[in-house]
């Protein structure tokens, strides 16, 4: 479950970095 949260967080960070 925690690993899923980490993957979700990484996805959000990656999207933010790409958008910015």
Calculate the average pLDDT of the chain: 94
Tell me how many degrees the CA angle 20-10-3 measures, rounded to the nearest 5: 170
Residues 1-18, mean pLDDT to the nearest whole number: 96
Closest CA to 2 of 16, 14, 10: 10
DSSP per-residue letters across 1-20: -HHHHHHHHHHHHHHHHHH-
Residues 1-20, mean pLDDT to the nearest whole number: 94
**Can you tell me the distance from the alpha carbon of 2 to that of 19, in angstroms, rounded to the nearest whole number?**
26
pTM value is 0.38
Residues 1-9, mean pLDDT to the nearest whole number: 96
């Amino acid at each position: 479950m925690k690993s899923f949260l980490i993957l979700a967080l990484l996805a959000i960070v990656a999207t933010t970095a790409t958008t910015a």
